[in-house]
């Protein structure tokens, strides 16, 4: 689901007043409590992926604190954050130029992947999708894989292994699959136009899929992109 809005949709005055009101309420509430009543807030786990073609680097802020600076295609390790509502800002890397801002709600003891991307296949405004990660261990002798389609302007795609059958079929832009179990082995992932053998891109090198591990494969880039923003396949271990 999309949980972040482009800057142009932001209601600046209302948001500032609302945040100030919430802060005042929280401050008064805390002053009226005894120290013995304090409860440590719960935590969640988050990772951030820069998958927005056209922007070489981004800075990611959580609750006004910068927590990551990412080049295109890079991702952070998982890191702990407070559960509940968190404020997000995304800026052009190393600048104060805000690309998008919004809020995300995180459930306690849950794990998420936050993909920075575009609003739609034809709209270059910055947005994001946040996926709740089910990191339940695979069966003995198996691995798990899922697929995220983030190639701007591309049609629906299949994810297959070179010389093998499709693992996932007919996935539209900004959609993702659940994790499925696969056999371990060294494979080359390929993305194809849905229902065809037209290969759009392959993983840059064979990937060693290991038993007991969990992987996300995402298709990135732009159909019309060149150089760093050409269509490609990325793989990360969850």
Q: What predicted TM-score, i.e. pTM, was given to this entire model?
A: 0.81
* DSSP structural state of residue 35: G
Q: Helices (DSSP H) in the chain: which residue ranges?
A: 12-31
* CATH 2.60.40.1120 domain residues, the chain: 135-238
Task: Please state, rounded to an integer, the average pLDDT across all residues of the chain.
Answer: 85
pLDDT in tens, 49-77: 999 998 999 999 999 999 999 999 999 99
Length of the chain: 238
Do 100 and 128 form a contact (C-beta atoms < 8 A)?
yes
pLDDT at 26: 40
What gap in Å lies between CA 125 and CA 106, rounded to an integer? Answer: 24
User: What CATH number labels 135-238?
Assistant: 2.60.40.1120
CATH topology of domain 1-133: Immunoglobulin-like (2.60.40)
Determine phi and psi for 231, rounding to 5 degrees: -60, 140
pLDDT at 111: 97
pLDDT in tens, 126-179: 999 999 999 999 999 999 999 999 999 999 999 999 988 899 999 999 999 999
pLDDT at 24: 37
pLDDT at 13: 39
What gap in Å lies between CA 4 and CA 213, rounded to an integer? Answer: 30
C-alpha 180: how far from its chain's center? Answer: 18
Q: Please say if the pLDDT value at position 220 is more than 70.
A: yes
What gap in Å lies between CA 211 and CA 144, rounded to an integer? Answer: 8
What gap in Å lies between CA 112 and CA 135, rounded to an integer? Answer: 10
* DSSP structural state of residue 41: P
What is the 3 state secondary structure string of 132-153?
A: ECCCCCCCCCCEEEEEEEEEEC
What gap in Å lies between CA 141 and CA 208, rounded to an integer? Answer: 14
Find, among 161, 160, 236, the residue nearest to 206 by Cα: 161
């Amino acid at each position: 689901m999309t949980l972040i809005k482009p800057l142009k949709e932001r209601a600046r005055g209302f948001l500032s007043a609302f945040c100030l009101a919430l802060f005042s309420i929280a401050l008064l509430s805390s002053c009226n409590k005894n120290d013995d009543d304090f409860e440590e807030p719960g935590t969640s786990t988050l990772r951030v992926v820069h998958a927005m073609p056209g922007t070489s680097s981004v800075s990611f802020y959580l609750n006004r604190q910068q927590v990551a600076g990412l080049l295109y295609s890079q991702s952070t390790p998982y890191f702990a954050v407070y559960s509940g509502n968190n404020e997000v800002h995304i800026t052009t890397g190393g600048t104060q130029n805000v690309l998008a801002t919004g809020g995300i709600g995180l459930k306690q003891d849950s794990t998420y992947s936050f993909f920075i991307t575009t609003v739609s296949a034809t709209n270059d405004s910055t947005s994001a999708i946040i996926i709740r990660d089910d990191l339940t261990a695979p069966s003995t002798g198996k691995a798990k894989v899922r697929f995220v389609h983030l190639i701007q302007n591309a049609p629906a795609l299949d994810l297959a292994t070179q010389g093998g059958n499709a693992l996932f079929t007919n996935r539209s832009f900004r959609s993702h699959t659940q994790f499925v179990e696969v056999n371990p082995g060294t494979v080359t992932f390929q993305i194809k136009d849905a229902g065809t053998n037209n290969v759009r891109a392959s993983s840059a090198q064979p990937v060693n899929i290991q038993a007991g591990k969990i992987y996300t494969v995402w298709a990135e880039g732009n159909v019309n992109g060149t150089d760093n923003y050409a269509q490609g396949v990325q793989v990360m271990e969850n």
